[in-house]
Structure 1
Amino acid sequence: METLTERRTITRAALLLGILLIAANLRAPFTGVPPLLGSIQADFGLSTTAVGALTTLPLLAFALVSPFSALFGREYGLERVLFGALATIALGIALRSIGALWSLYVGTGIIGMGIAVGNVLLPSLIKRDFPNSVASLTGAYALSMGVAAALGSAAVVPLAHAMGWRSALAAFLVLPVAALAVWAAQLGTRTKPASGTAGPPHGGRVWRSALSWQVTLFLGLNSTIYYIAIGWLPAILLDAGLSAERAGSLHGVLQLATAVPGLVLGPILSRMRDQRLPAAVVAGFSVVALVGLMTMPQAALAWSVLFGLGTGAGIILGLTFIGLRTRNAHQAAALSGMSQCVGYLLAAVGPMAMGALHDALDGWRVPLGLCACLALLAVVMGLLAGRNRHIGE
């Protein structure tokens, strides 16, 4: 006969598996698109700017929906809202794969809405159910995101060659369907998000603080260059003479590299009095990688790894700053809402702006140079945000 302890162990294991499967859905369904942008562009006769909107739409959804995700969680419960987020991602993938131009854009936007909710509420769920393992489990779900995204980017071009780009995009349905099947067991529970979960942005001391803007710009600039690279790296590498399969593989390598800092950065930061040095160093990684892609694209593997490490660590540092630079959960939630809203709006502008610049100049050197300048600005913001200070001091 099954004991109570065994049942609890099984239930906890199912919850952990569900968390990792949800995490696998928070990047791959939209980062798997860039290796196919050339085929999509050719099929519909789109400009580089228009096809770049496919990487911008999810980011706009993040900016608009993320701050309100906590309200949904409080009203309906974390478990049900996360289930709804997975169903939304599945609907978006199905719509995107129909083949019509309108459904391609509408489906992409819907995917972004589902991912936005998961991005905000999954950390709150971990804080509630695994309060003593937040750092290790956050690293595990970051790794799950990175592995799923890397596999998707590496596999999508061969799948497109075998079945067409529409079927290749439809293959991503396996991720939300698997997560829905496992997560359905959690629907009997209804709990609210943790008190520090980001809510709608509002005015007050946080928005008037220079330190708040330094944290927000560090996160926003890091996100901007990351999503520009995620959106355009395959096209940049194709223009440099690499094959579509090689470009897709390096796109996956970059995403896998973003997960590595989550496994090692936490213990390092906990031993430091302030975070100025690591913030400047990881943003500097991005500067070097972007200049490398601009001047020596034949060493793209090294630049992809370095850029992934830099931006992955930058995201972790930026999120860490939200907790370290605030005095209470209310202030942290306000700064989180502000940084997500402003940061994702900045990130949404980047891919389309760089696509338009590529069309105007017929090349990637200037866009990559501008991205390197943005990364240099992130170095400055990291030096300021990394100081051992609190909002209001």
Structure 2
Amino acid sequence: MRARPLWQGRTLALLGIVLVAFSLRSAVASLSPVIDHVAADFPVSPVVVGMIGSAPPVCFAVFGLLTPLLERRFGLERVAVAAIALMSIGLLLRGAAFDSWSLLAATALVFAGVGSANVLLPPLVKKYFPDRLGLMMTLYSTIMAVSTFLPPLVAVPVADSLGWRVSLGMWGAIALLALAPWVTMLVTGKTDAASDGPRAPARPAEAPEGREAFTPAEVATGPITTNPANPRVFGRLWRLPLAWALALVFAASSSMAYSSFAWMPTMLVDIGGVTGSTAGLLLSVFGAVGLPCSLVVPVLVVRFQAARALFFVAVGGGLAGLAGLLLLPAAGLALWVIVFGLTAILFPLSLVLLSIRSRTPESAVALSGFMQSIGYGIAALFPLALGVLHEMTHGWQLPLIVLAGLLVVAAPAGWIAGGSRTIEDEWERRHGRW
């Protein structure tokens, strides 16, 4: 396919995708740095904070299943507008919370929208930019990485000067901006991407080696589809150790990320004796480690088959960072946060493995659904469990040990997932023809 200028006939779609991508992660990373400011106005127990931290993976799991059904009934852009509106309203209401339960309810609304938008972004990219998939996937994944470390950087200074309500609510105002391009396209009827340029070529139905079925952009970010999984294929995955290994790698990735977003600032204030502003800065540093990882990991896996090595770098970094925070927090708090941030390798690694451990798009969709349902289900337990453990022990030693234990338990899964077989290969070796 011959590429055309990025802006030609699709400026609104480009703006809409960029603004939505920015809002997805800023919604996750903007609350925990100012939770102490919120607690100065009304009590926020560790259990509630843990429930807030568990909201993203729960909503991602639930709305990851519901969104494709809604999209088929109402259309891609209409569901995207509804998702962005939910996210925007929830972010604004979070700034108006009057007790811990209204804060939790607003957060649930936020992540209902985020969970849906997270599913819709890749097919929107494919619809409007079939000739620029690699560039657009890189652009929106980079924007998401930037919006992971930017909110913690500015949240506390804004809360100090203007109050925590402004600090939380301003992300809702930014999310509202993302509505404008999509609403304009719906009102003006400019949602037929085919009229603006060439369609994407059909992908081959099967790739014997498990890689040719996907574009380079899809290898980097996961298969671009909202079709529901084939029940027959999905059912077979429950019997495959490789599928379970991939799900556990994804679970470890999500658990580390969402536990950190929920608890890292509070933990660093407690064990490191730093200010809330410094703790927010360190959370920003933790998020920034993920940016180079998202760019480098797909290349290293696809070109150099480095999946196992990368997995153990991530696990080793995570264990070293946790050990430093547990035993020597005052010796180098920033260093331990950066080293622990190497667990960010696990997220792009999971997505690359999802693409190259299946031969066909149909298998990849089933594997994606299996990985996300298991992975997010496990990840939803950890922020809440860490909050309960912290409240029971009045310290962070046991929560840090639990996180380290998860990385250790995931090590055999990483070895299995890093092999060269596809899920079809494993089924045929164990049960005969796929």
**TM-score between the two structures when normalised by the length of structure 2:** 0.83
* CA shift digits 1:19-70 (9 cap, x unpaired): 1211101111132111122233343323211222121223221121112222
Alignment of 1:310-349 (within 5 A): 310-349=342-381
The residue that corresponds to 2:111 in the other structure is 112
SS of 1:25's equivalent in the other structure is helix
The residue that corresponds to 1:170 in the other structure is 169
Q: Does 1:292 align with 2:321?
A: no
2:248 maps to a residue whose letter is: L
SS of 2:136's equivalent in the other structure is helix
The residue that corresponds to 2:246 in the other structure is 215
Report the Cα distance in structure 2 between the residues aligned to 1:272 and 1:74, rounded to whole angstroms.
39
Alignment of 1:1-393 (within 5 A): 9-101=7-99, 102-131=101-130, 133-187=132-186, 188=189, 189=191, 196-197=225-226, 199=228, 202=231, 203-239=234-270, 240-273=272-305, 275-298=307-330, 299-308=332-341, 310-391=342-423, 392-393=427-428
Report the Cα distance in structure 2 between the residues aligned to 1:108 and 1:382, rounded to whole angstroms.
32
* Alpha-carbon contact 2:92-2:173 (below 8 Å) kept: no
Runs ≥4 residues deviating over 4 A? 200-203
2:110 maps to a residue whose letter is: I
Report the Cα distance in structure 2 between the residues aligned to 1:256 and 1:222, rounded to whole angstroms.
16
2:111 maps to a residue whose letter is: G
* Alpha-carbon contact 2:255-2:378 (below 8 Å) kept: yes
* CA shift digits 1:119-153 (9 cap, x unpaired): 11212222344445444433322221122232211
Query: Aligned pair in 2 of structure 1 residues 312, 184: CA closer, same or farther (>3 Å)?
Result: farther
Count of residues in correspondence between the two structures:
387
* CA shift digits 1:137-192 (9 cap, x unpaired): 33322221122232211111112122222222111123212211233343331689
SS of 1:208's equivalent in the other structure is coil
Query: Aligned pair in 2 of structure 1 residues 377, 136: CA closer, same or farther (>3 Å)?
Result: farther
* Alpha-carbon contact 1:67-1:198 (below 8 Å) kept: no
Report the Cα distance in structure 2 between the residues aligned to 1:35 and 1:201, rounded to whole angstroms.
41
Query: Aligned pair in 2 of structure 1 residues 35, 270: CA closer, same or farther (>3 Å)?
Result: same
The alpha carbon displacement at 1:286 in A equals 1.7
Query: Aligned pair in 2 of structure 1 residues 197, 353: CA closer, same or farther (>3 Å)?
Result: same
* CA shift digits 1:70-120 (9 cap, x unpaired): 222222222222222111101111222222224312110011111111111
Structure 1: which 5+ residue stretches go unaligned?
A: none
The alpha carbon displacement at 1:214 in A equals 0.5
Report the Cα distance in structure 1 between the residues aligned to 2:111 and 2:42, rounded to whole angstroms.
22
Query: Aligned pair in 2 of structure 1 residues 383, 132: CA closer, same or farther (>3 Å)?
Result: farther
Moved more, 122-131 or 161-170: 122-131
The alpha carbon displacement at 1:282 in A equals 2.1
The alpha carbon displacement at 1:305 in A equals 2.6
Query: Aligned pair in 2 of structure 1 residues 330, 156: CA closer, same or farther (>3 Å)?
Result: same
Query: Aligned pair in 2 of structure 1 residues 214, 160: CA closer, same or farther (>3 Å)?
Result: same
* Alpha-carbon contact 2:259-2:383 (below 8 Å) kept: yes
The alpha carbon displacement at 1:11 in A equals 2.9
Query: Aligned pair in 2 of structure 1 residues 135, 305: CA closer, same or farther (>3 Å)?
Result: farther
Report the Cα distance in structure 2 between the residues aligned to 1:307 and 1:11, rounded to whole angstroms.
44
* Alpha-carbon contact 2:42-2:98 (below 8 Å) kept: no
1:307 maps to a residue whose letter is: F
1:175 maps to a residue whose letter is: I
Query: Aligned pair in 2 of structure 1 residues 111, 66: CA closer, same or farther (>3 Å)?
Result: same
Moved more, 164-173 or 137-146: 137-146
Moved more, 70-79 or 354-363: 70-79
* Alpha-carbon contact 2:230-2:362 (below 8 Å) kept: no
Report the Cα distance in structure 2 between the residues aligned to 1:200 and 1:289, rounded to whole angstroms.
38
Report the Cα distance in structure 2 between the residues aligned to 1:375 and 1:178, rounded to whole angstroms.
39
The alpha carbon displacement at 1:350 in A equals 0.4
Structure 2: which 5+ residue stretches go unaligned?
A: 195-222, 429-434
The alpha carbon displacement at 1:236 in A equals 1.0
Query: Aligned pair in 2 of structure 1 residues 80, 345: CA closer, same or farther (>3 Å)?
Result: same
Query: Aligned pair in 2 of structure 1 residues 327, 125: CA closer, same or farther (>3 Å)?
Result: same
Quick one: percent identity of the two aligned structures?
33
Instruction: Quote the RMSD (CA, aligned, Å).
Output: 2.4
* The structure with more radius of gyration: 2
Report the Cα distance in structure 1 between the residues aligned to 2:414 and 2:91, rounded to whole angstroms.
36
Report the Cα distance in structure 2 between the residues aligned to 1:266 and 1:131, rounded to whole angstroms.
20
1:71 maps to a residue whose letter is: L
* Alpha-carbon contact 1:57-1:108 (below 8 Å) kept: yes
* Alpha-carbon contact 1:85-1:118 (below 8 Å) kept: yes
Moved more, 45-54 or 86-95: 45-54
Query: Aligned pair in 2 of structure 1 residues 305, 130: CA closer, same or farther (>3 Å)?
Result: farther
